[in-house]
Amino acid sequence: MNDEMMTEGVMRIAVLVEDDYDDLELWYPYYRLLEAGHRPVLVGPEVRRYHSKRGLSAESSVSAVEAAICPFQGVIVPGGNAPDRLRRYPAMVELVKSIFDQGDLVAAICHGGSLLVSANVVKGKKVTSFFSIEIDLINAGARYIDREVVVDGNLITSRCPDDLPAFMRGVLAFLDSKRTKSD
């Protein structure tokens, strides 16, 4: 689907990718976004093929630098070890921060919260994550809640792959509310 073919209400959502991403946490949101009529776009530090923790591959079509000039209405940060790699790229950190500051969707699952810490978007926000980064989020000023999904404004977080259905209900509800406001 190219930009000319996009219809009103279709939102471009960056789905971040780096080596060692969690398969389910990338592909489940990707296909749910497609199913809901949105345009998910794989964004990596570079345009290239990345490999998951289990060896599956995903090819980004937009680099982090290019993403800064692309209009995205949201970003999804899958977990695995990828978020720790992603936070090393200033362009990735800035992408998350700018989308958050615009009031658009910022959604992270599992270890994705570590990129939110680097983007400095969790202070004073209610969040959840995989338990191993709970203290990192708290130290960054977040209010940690152990729940399958936590929605605080435009910030949506979840703990693990088992929470993906609740996570995506939250994501899609947020996008539907934005779609309704723009109609």
Each residue's pLDDT, cut to its tens digit, for the chain (183 residues) gives: 334 334 668 999 999 999 999 999 999 999 999 999 999 999 999 999 999 999 999 999 999 999 988 899 999 999 999 999 999 999 999 999 999 999 999 999 999 999 999 999 999 999 999 999 999 999 999 999 999 999 999 999 999 999 999 999 999 999 999 887 766
Q: Which of 38, 51, 70, 110 is catalytic?
A: 110
What CA–CA distance (Å, rounded) separates 167 from 173? 10
- The span from the CA of 66 to the CA of 63, in Å, is 5
Q: Does domain 10-178 have CATH number 3.40.50.880?
A: yes
- Domain ranges for the chain, please list them: 10-178
Q: Are 20 and 51 in contact (CB under 8 A)?
A: yes
* Contact residues for 115 (Cβ-Cβ < 8 A; gap 6+): 16, 77, 83, 86, 87, 92, 93, 96, 108
On the 0-12 / 13-18 / 19+ scale of CB atoms within 10 A, 48 is exposed
Reply yes or no on whether 110 is catalytic: yes
Which is the catalytic residue, given 38, 51, 70, 111? Answer: 111
